[in-house]
Amino acid sequence: MIVITLTYITKNIAKMKFFLDTANIEEIAEFANTGLLDGVTTNPSIIASYGKPFEEVIAAICKLVDGPVSAEVTATDHETMLKQGRHLAQIANNVVIKVPLTSDGLKACYALRQEEIDVNVTLCFSTGQALLAAKAGATFISPFIGRIDDIGYQGMNLIQEIAQIYSNYPDFNTQILAASIRSPLHVTEAAQMGADVATMPTKVLKQLFKHPLTDLGLEAFLKDWKNTDQKISA
Ligand code: G3P
Give me the tens of pLDDT residue by residue for the chain, a chain 234 residues long: 454 444 333 345 579 999 999 999 999 999 998 999 999 999 999 999 999 999 999 999 999 999 999 999 999 999 999 999 999 999 999 999 999 999 999 999 999 999 999 999 999 999 999 999 999 999 999 999 999 999 999 999 999 999 999 999 999 999 999 999 999 999 999 999 999 999 999 999 999 999 999 999 999 999 999 999 999 998
Q: Please give the DSSP secondary-structure letter assigned to residue 126.
A: S
- Report the catalytic residues: 98
Cα 3 to ligand 1 centre (Å): 24
Tell me the CA distances in angstroms from 107 to 3, 126, 186, one per residue in order: 36, 18, 31
Question: Taking a C-beta distance cutoff of 8 angstroms, is the pair 31, 210 a contact?
Answer: no
- Of ligand 1's listed atoms, the one at least distance from the Cα of 43 is 4
User: From CA 157, how far away is CA 199, in angstroms rounded?
Assistant: 17
Cα 189 to ligand 1 centre (Å): 17
Output the pLDDT for position 14.
76
User: From CA 158, how far away is CA 13, in angstroms rounded?
Assistant: 20
Question: Taking a C-beta distance cutoff of 8 angstroms, is the pair 57, 47 a contact?
Answer: yes
Residue whose C-alpha is closest to residue 200's, from 28, 13, 29: 28
Residue whose C-alpha is closest to residue 155's, from 134, 185, 175, 117: 185
Q: Please give the DSSP secondary-structure letter assigned to residue 15.
A: S
Output the pLDDT for position 2.
52
According to DSSP, the β-strands at 95-100 and 119-124 are parallel
Output the pLDDT for position 157.
98
Nearest CA to ligand 1 atom 5: 180
Question: Taking a C-beta distance cutoff of 8 angstroms, is the pair 175, 153 a contact?
Answer: no
Output the pLDDT for position 32.
96
DSSP-assigned beta bridge partners for residue 41: 21, 70
User: From CA 224, how far away is CA 182, in angstroms rounded?
Assistant: 38
Tell me the CA distances in angstroms from 76 to 26, 99, 103, 165, 200, one per residue in order: 31, 9, 10, 28, 26
Cα 180 to ligand 1 centre (Å): 4
Distance between first and last Cα of the chain: 49
Pocket test for ligand 1, best of 180, 182, 204, 205 (most atoms within 8 A of CB): 180
